[in-house]
Structure 1
Amino acid sequence: MTEPRPGAAAAGSWQVVVLGALIVVAEGYDLIVYGALLPKLVAEPGWHLTSTSAGSIGSLVYLGMLVGALAGGPVCDRVGRRNFVNASVAWFTLWTAASALAQAPWQLGGARLLTGVGMGAVIPAAVALVKEYSPGRRTGLVVTILMAGIPLGGTAASLLGIGLLGTHGWRLMFLVGAAISLLILVLSLVRLPESAGFGTRQDTVAAPRPSAVTTFAALFRERRALLTVLFAVATFANMLTWYGLNTWLTTLMRELHYPLGSALTFSLCLNAGAIAGSLVLVLAAHRWGLRVVAAVCGALTAAGILVCAAGPQQTGTLLATITVIGASTQTALTLILASVADSYPTRMRASAVGWANGTGRAGAVLAPALGGAILAAGLAPRGVFFAFAASALVAALVMAMLAAQGRRTGPVVEPALAEARS
C-alpha cells in the first residue's frame, strides 16, 4: 500500500481536529444555553417553576453526561471512533430539539437528561480520535483546541441569548442549537475518518474484540489501578471547582457587595480566559509536560479564588483575576484529559478518557449543591470560595504526584502506530 505523503497526513490530522472542535462547539452551546434560558423558564405560563426546581432540571444534563461518559468509552473502544462520534452527535441533536418541544417541566427534564447522555459519550470518543491522528508531542495542543469548543459554544449561547431571548423566547434557542448540531453532524458524516489507531489495531489483531466490560476492567489491571484512580480524583476535583464557580461566582460576589453589573460580565471573563488562556498555557505544556503544567494551573486556580475571597477593591483587579481563573481551570481540565489520552494504549483509550471525564462529571453534579449547603449552614460567602480553592489545590497535588510518576514511566508509545503515521 502506498504510504501517505507527510503533508497529506498532517492535513488529515488537522481536519480531524477541526471537525472534533466543531462537534464540541455544538456540545458547548447545547450544554451552556440552559443557563441563559433560566429567567424565561421560570416565567413560563403554567409551569410554576421556581429557581430551585429550574436549577434541578438544569443539573440533569450533568447526570446524563456522567452516565454517557462512563458507559460510552468502553463501547467506543469496541465499535470504533467515527461511528460512535456520529451516533452521539445525532443523539444529543435529537434531544436538544425535543427540549424545544417540551410542554411540561418533566418533559424538559427528561430531554435534558438524555441530551447529557450523548454529550458525555462524545467527549471521550473525540479526544481518543484526535489523539490517534496527532503526533504524541502535540496531544496537549490538539486536545486544547478540541476542548476550547465548550467555552466557544457557551459564549455563542450567551450572545445569541441577548439578541433572541427577549423577542423569540426560549424554545428558539434550543432549536438554534439543534440546527447547529445537525449541520455539524452532516459535515462529520461526510468528512470525519475512522481513527488511524483503531483501524491499525483491527487490521493487525486477529483475536475477537474484548467486550466493553472487559475493556473497562482493564483500566484497573497491569499496575494501572492507582493511575486510573488518581486521574479520577484530579478530574473530579477540577470539575467541582469549575462548575462550582460557574454556578456561584456571581452570587458570591454580589454578597460581598461588588457593584458589578450582570452575570454576563463574569461569564464572558471566565470564557474568554478559558479560550485564550488555555491556548497560551498549552505552549508551556509542550515544553514542561502535560502533568506539570496541569499541576501549576491547579495551584493558580486556588490562588485566584483566594484573591476573590479576599475582596480586591479594584474592579479591574477582580476581572483580571477571574480571567486567570478561567484560563487556569480550563487548561488544567484539558491537560488532565490529554494526559489520560497519552497514558493508555489505543485499545482502552476512550474507556480511560470516559472514566476520567465521567467521574469528573460527578463533581459537576455535586458543585451547585455543595455551594448551597455551605451557604445554608450560615457560613459566609468566603466559605464557599475556600471550599472551591481547596478542591483546586487537591487537583494540583494529584497532578504533581502523577508528574513525578510520569518522569519514571513516560507516556504510552505504540511503535506500530507511530510508524504508520510517519
Structure 2
Amino acid sequence: MSKVEGPPDEEVTPENGKADLQDIINQVGLGPAQIFWGVLGGGIWLADGAELLLVSSVTRSLQTEWHLTSYMKGIIVSAVYLGILIGNYSSGPFSQRFGRREMVIASYSGIFLCGILSCVSASALEFLAIRFVGGFFIGLGQPAWLAISSEVTPPAWRISMSACTQSLFVFGELYVSFVIMMDDMTMQALHWRVLLRLCALPSLCLTTLSMIYLNESPVFLAQKGRIKEARMVVETMARQNQTMPSTLSFRQPRVRQPDASLLSQMRRQMAVVFHRSSFVPTLVLMGTCFTVNMIYFGSLFAFPQVLPTLMHGHAASQLLVGALWELPGMALGWLLGMYAPRKTGLKVYLTALSCFLLCFIIGVHDEQSKLLKAMLYIGYYGVKSTPNIAFIIAFQMSVELYPTEARTMGSGLCLASGRLAAMIAPMVYECIVGWTGGFLPFFVLMAAFTVGNLYMVDLMPETSTLKHDDEISKDSPEKPVHVV
C-alpha cells in the first residue's frame, strides 16, 4: 500500500455527498487493508515494548559501569517515560496539523536514531538525555496510531484491531528477552551497548516500510478537505479487501480553517476534551490509564531487579515466559472488548489483577513451600498478563470518547497520564525499597491502586455505543448523543 498522492482537491459541499465516509469504510469491511495498517502503524507498540524492556533490563549493567546510585538508576528509566509523556501530549496538535501518518514515521525514525546514539554514550547524563529524546519519539506516534486505527476500522472490529496491534508490544518484549538470553542468562553482566544496537533494528525496518507503504487516514484527509486523496485511499482499501462499496461519494465533514498556531489549535482541542459534558469521564479515564501504567511499568522495572533473587539462575528465561503470558491477557482483553461492555471489561481486569498481586505478595515469603512457590509464579504471570486487558479497553475508550477533531488530543492526554505514572513508577519503587528495605510494599501499593480504580469505573459512559455530532448524518433521524 503506497502513499497516496492525488490531483488537486475538488470542492465538495455537504449537499454534494451521497453517504457518510464512515458508512463507506464499514462497507469496505475488515481485510488485508487493515492488516497493512496494523503492521506498519501498530508497529509503534513493537518498538515501544523493545525499548522499554531493554532500558529497564540494562540499568544494573549501567549501575556497575558508571557507579550509579539506585536513585540515579531509577531516574534514567523515568526520563524515558517523561519523554513519552511529552510526546503523547504533543501528538494531538502535531497530528492534526501535519497528519497522523507523518507522526508515526517520525516516531520510528527518532526511536532508531536515539537507539544508535545511546549505545555510544560516555556518561550517565548523556545516556539519560538521549533516552529522554527517544521516549519523546515513542510517545509521538502512539496517539496518532490509535486515531488511525479507529478511523480505518469498522466499529465492530475496532477492539480486535486494538488488541492485535497492542500484542506487538509483547513481540517487542520477546525480541529483547531472546537477545538478553543469548547475551547472559543470569542478567548479571549484560553487554548493553551491543543490545542497544540490536534493539534499534526493528525501528529501522519499520521506518523504511512505513515511508513507502503507509497511507494516511481517509477520515483525516476528508476533514482537511483533501477529498480526492481520501477517496483514493478508500479505493485502495476496497481493492485490497476485494469489496466495492455502493458509492465512493461521501459527505465531507465540516472543515475548519487552520489555526494560526499550534497553540491555538491545542487550546481549541482542550476545550472539547474538557467540555463540561466530558470533564468527569476524561478525568476518570486518565486515572484508569494512570493506574494500569503505574502497575505495568512499575512491575516492568521491578521484575528485572527482583527475579534474579527470587528465581535463581533463570531470571532471563522467566522474563521471556512472563512476556509470553501477556498474550493470554491480550486475548482476554479482545474477548471482553468484543462481547462485553467496556466498563465490565475494566472491572474484570481490576478484580483479577488485585487477586494476582495478592498471590505474588504471599508467595515470596517461603521458598521451601511448594504451595507458596506456586502462588509466586501464579502471581507473577498474572501481574504480567492482566494489565493488557486494560490497555486494550481503556485505549479504545480514549478514542471513542471524543469527536474526530479532538480524538488525538483526548487519546494523547489519556496516554500522557499513563506515562506520568510510568515515569514516576521506577522512582516510587526505588524510594520504597530505600525506605523499607524490601520490594513488597511497592506491590501492596499497587494493589491499593486497583481497588481505588474499581470504584471510579461507573463514572464513565459506555463508549462503545457513544456517537458524536460529526459522526451522524444530517439526514439521519437519530439525534446526536453527547457524553454525560
**Shared topology, TM-score over 0.5?**
yes
1:292 CA drift (Å): 1.6
Q: How many percent identity over aligned positions?
A: 21
Query: 2:51 matched to 1:34?
Result: no
May I ask how many residue pairs the two structures share in their alignment? 411
**Residue 193 to residue 385, structure 1, CA distance change in 2 (3 Å):** same
Amino acid at match of 1:11: P
1:249 CA drift (Å): 4.2
Instruction: Report if the CA contact (8 A) 1:42-1:48 is conserved.
Output: yes
Mapping of 1:9-20 within 5 angstroms? Answer: 10-20=31-41
TM-score by length of 2: 0.77
Mapping of 1:54-203 within 5 angstroms? Answer: 54-164=73-183, 169-203=191-225
1:66 CA drift (Å): 0.9
CA distance in 2, matches of 1:90, 1:279: 30
Deviating more after overlay: 267-276 vs 326-335: 267-276
Query: 2:269 matched to 1:220?
Result: no
Instruction: Find the counterpart in structure 2 of residue 371 from structure 1.
Output: 429
Deviating more after overlay: 30-39 vs 118-127: 30-39
Instruction: Find the counterpart in structure 1 of residue 285 from structure 2.
Output: 231
**What is the SS of the residue equivalent to 2:277?**
coil
**Residue 135 to residue 388, structure 1, CA distance change in 2 (3 Å):** same
TM-score by length of 1: 0.88
**Residue 66 to residue 415, structure 1, CA distance change in 2 (3 Å):** same
CA distance in 2, matches of 1:229, 1:5: 31
**What is the SS of the residue equivalent to 1:49?**
coil
- Of 332, 350, 353, the match for 1:298: 350
Mapping of 1:355-394 within 5 angstroms? Answer: 355-378=413-436, 381-394=439-452
Instruction: Find the counterpart in structure 1 of residue 329 from structure 2.
Output: 277
CA distance in 1, matches of 2:113, 2:301: 27
Query: 2:391 matched to 1:342?
Result: no
Instruction: Report if the CA contact (8 A) 2:84-2:135 is conserved.
Output: yes
**Residue 373 to residue 41, structure 1, CA distance change in 2 (3 Å):** closer
CA distance in 2, matches of 1:49, 1:249: 19
Deviation digits for residues 269-298 of structure 1 (CA, Å, limit 9, x no counterpart): 432222232123311221112232022101
Instruction: Report if the CA contact (8 A) 1:246-1:267 is conserved.
Output: no
CA RMSD of superposed structures (Å): 2.9
Relative to total residues, which structure has the larger helix share, 1 or 2?
A: 1
**What is the SS of the residue equivalent to 2:130?**
helix
**What is the SS of the residue equivalent to 1:148?**
helix
Instruction: Report if the CA contact (8 A) 1:273-1:325 is conserved.
Output: no
Instruction: Report if the CA contact (8 A) 1:238-1:395 is conserved.
Output: no
- Of 305, 319, 330, the match for 1:267: 319
Gaps of 5+ in 1: none
Instruction: Find the counterpart in structure 2 of residue 406 from structure 1.
Output: 462
Instruction: Find the counterpart in structure 2 of residue 322 from structure 1.
Output: 380
CA distance in 1, matches of 2:256, 2:436: 60
Instruction: Find the counterpart in structure 2 of residue 208 from structure 1.
Output: 257
1:383 CA drift (Å): 2.8
Mapping of 1:250-265 within 5 angstroms? Answer: 258=310, 260-265=312-317
**Residue 233 to residue 168, structure 1, CA distance change in 2 (3 Å):** closer
CA distance in 1, matches of 2:155, 2:258: 25
1:200 CA drift (Å): 2.1
1:299 CA drift (Å): 1.5
